[in-house]
Amino acid sequence: MIEKTYKFIAKYKNSIMWALVILILCGMPPSGLPTIKIPGIDKVVHFGLFVVFTLLLISEMNYQRVQLTISNRHKWVGFIVASVYGGLIELTQLYLFTSRSAEWADFFADILGAAVAVLVYPSLNKFLKGYI
């Protein structure tokens, strides 16, 4: 059991670390974050965080990346995991992090970021010659 857990963490270490970054940033009180007076910038941030998260998930699942291919299963799993995590983040903001507020628009930005990552991954993987 411990060995399986270690292998899982080793395989998905980048995704796990990025998920922790997302959790920390989304859980911080607004006073701990820089204030930027651009309407909708938080949606752009959510979108970007989840593009990166989904790309990491897909990349770490894709054992075929060196052959510059990917299965649809890996793309779907990456999308679903990232979308569920986005929903969980919003629920933690609603119930756990009382200094933050949950927003449907943030959740949709998370889902949109995951979807864009799924769409661009094959081209990005080919462009980077299997690096990601």
Tokens coding 33: 């974050």
Question: Among 83, 81, 82, 63, which residue's Cα sits nearest to residue 130?
Answer: 63
Helices (H) and strands (E) in the chain, counts: 5, 0
Map out the domains of the chain as residue ranges.
Answer: 2-127
Q: What is the pLDDT along the chain (132 residues), one digit of tens a residue?
A: 889 999 999 999 999 999 999 999 998 887 766 677 788 888 999 999 999 999 999 999 887 766 767 889 999 999 999 999 999 999 999 999 878 889 999 999 999 999 999 999 999 988 988 777
pTM: 0.90
| Upper half-sphere CA count for residue 88 (Cβ side, 13 Å) | 11
Q: What is the chain's alpha carbon radius of gyration, rounded to the nearest angstrom?
A: 16
